[in-house]
Amino acid sequence: MGESSNGVRGNSASRLRRHRAKLAWVFGIVAVCLLVRLALPYLVKSYVNQALNSAPGYSGHVNDIHIALWRGAYSILGLEVRQNNSASKAPLFSSPRTELSVLWSGLLDGVVVAQVKTYDAQLTFAAAGGNQAAQTGKNANWGDLLEKLTPFSIDHFQVIDGQIHYLDRGSDPPVDVYLSKVNGEISNLTNREVKQGRRVATLHAQALAMDQAILAVDLTVDPFSKQPDFAVKARLLHLEAVRMKDFVRAYTLFDPKSGTLDVVVEATAKDGNIDGYVKPLFHDLELFSLKTPEQDLNPLHLASDALGSILNLLLQNQRKQQLATQVPFSGRVDDPGIDIGSTILNLLKNAVVKAFTPQFEDADKK
């Protein structure tokens, strides 16, 4: 009986030791997981900052990283990308919050892809000034940078309430032309959804120009083409000319007092070449008015505005009170040429033959 009791106690002690060992392993694994989870935001932040500084001529940083493992996502807070030696003090790109996450609809299709959403982002371009370069965002592969920020291919990119600015602080007067409330989404960047034709990704975007006029943009693009391959349509309607006063004064001798502007743009690019047109349409444009209290009394500006008013009167379509033309352009994507002769002929056509409309060419021909 004594030996039997000792055996039972020995087995019980052995089972207890094994049970304690298993619990120790479980607690150890849980502790490691917790430590990894606590350290993960700092590791990801370090990696993201390293990636942002990998593009030659650019630098960047983030303030914080929030991770949501349960939905396969993380948020980048306080993101900034700056162009070195830029004439602008504003960063090239900034966003208070950018989210990268797994696109669950892709999992249903048997692929793992990611989506990016950026909130209240601001993209700033700037003219050169002094010894500092223009801020353009050139000479950097932003697609590669986005791929570094997520382990999965990016299929969707969405902008929510963004802004785009063009600054020239060295001009007289200083220029700030901008789009606000930019909302848009480019999808199917990975060709997950098979489309007919070569171009597979689509962009639909809308914004307010100078906080007043609506700009709509539609784009199809082949993201896999080695040379630019896209088709774009954009239309701006009813922009008040006085909102572009600083821009016009800075780069011309004219000074718009009233009127509205419509702009239609259509272009197609393939194999590095581009072909398209810009159609500007001024309605009820007024350049010279002695009734305006703030009329510029500079003799050169007065003479320019008077001459411009005469040309506007002679070249506008009298019935529509519209000065318009269509400016064809073509050539290499990075250096297209303008067809001056056709531009002048189209100016006369609008005046004496038929007024242009703020429609795309195919709609105008119907």
Model pLDDT for residues 248-265, shown as the tens digit of each residue: 888 876 777 888 999 999
Separation between Cα atoms, residue 192 and residue 224, nearest integer Å: 13
Which pLDDT band, with edges at 50, 70 and 90, does 226 fall under?
confident
Check whether 292 has a pLDDT greater than 60: no
Round the average pLDDT of the chain to a whole number and report it. 81
Task: Average the pLDDT over 265-290 and give the result.
Answer: 86
Q: How far apart are CA 215 and CA 236, in angstroms?
A: 4
**Tokens at 162, concatenated:** 């963004």
**Residues constituting the chain:** 366
Backbone phi and psi for residue 160, each to the nearest 5 degrees, phi listed first:
-125, 115
Asked whether the beta carbons of 127 and 87 are under 8 A apart, the reply is yes
Share of the chain above pLDDT 90, in %: 37
Lowest mean pLDDT among 162-171, 264-273, 289-298: 289-298
Integer CA distances (angstroms), 73 to 66, 78, 210, 332, in order: 9, 17, 34, 40
Q: What is the pLDDT of residues 146-182, one digit of tens each?
A: 777 777 788 889 999 999 999 998 888 899 999 999 9
- Under the banding of pLDDT at 50, 70 and 90, the label for residue 142 is confident
What's at 322, amino acid-wise?
Q
Instruction: Please say whether the beta carbons of 214 and 236 come within 8 A.
Output: yes
pLDDT tops 70 at residue 201: yes
pLDDT at 120 over 90: yes
Q: What pLDDT shows up at residue 298?
A: 55
Instruction: Say what the pLDDT of residue 293 is.
Output: 47
Q: Where are the beta strands (DSSP E) in 62-135?
A: 64-68, 73-83, 93-102, 113-119, 122-126
Q: Mean per-residue pLDDT for 266-291?
A: 84
Largest CA distance in the chain: 124
Bigger pLDDT: 306 or 14? 14
By CB atoms closer than 10 A (0-12, 13-18, 19+), residue 325 is buried
Q: Quick one: pLDDT at residue 224?
A: 78
Tens-place pLDDT, residues 312-358: 556 688 888 888 889 999 999 888 999 999 998 998 898 888 989 99
pLDDT > 90? residue 213: yes
Cβ burial of 68 (10 Å; 0-12, 13-18, 19+) is exposed
Tokens 């939905």 -> residue: 71
Cβ(151)–Cβ(115) below 8 Å = no
pLDDT at 294 > cutoff 60: no
Q: Is the pLDDT of residue 206 over 70?
A: yes
Residue 135 · residue 82 · CB < 8 Å: no
**Rounded CA separation 76/120 (Å):** 13
**Are 122 and 137 spatial neighbours (Cβ–Cβ below 8 Å)?**
no
pLDDT of residue 17: 67
Type of residue numbered 46 = S
Q: Which among 67, 36, 270 has a CA at the least distance from the CA of 150?
A: 67
pLDDT exceeds 70 at position 283: yes
Percent of the chain with pLDDT over 70: 75
Residue 88: both structure tokens together: 């602008």
pLDDT at 125 over 50: yes
List the single range of 3-7, 105-109, 241-245, 338-342 with lowest mean pLDDT. Answer: 3-7
Q: Between these two residues, 9 and 173, which has the higher pLDDT value? A: 173
pTM: 0.80
pLDDT at 21: 67
Report how far apart, in Å, the C-alpha atoms of 315 and of each of 264, 329, 340 are.
Answer: 20, 22, 16
Bridge partners (DSSP) of residue 323 are 282
Query: Residue 209: beta bridge partners?
Result: 179, 213
Phi, psi of 98 (to 5 degrees): -130, 130
Q: How far is C-alpha 115 from the geometric centre of its chain's CA atoms? A: 15
Task: Name the more confident of 225 and 93.
Answer: 93
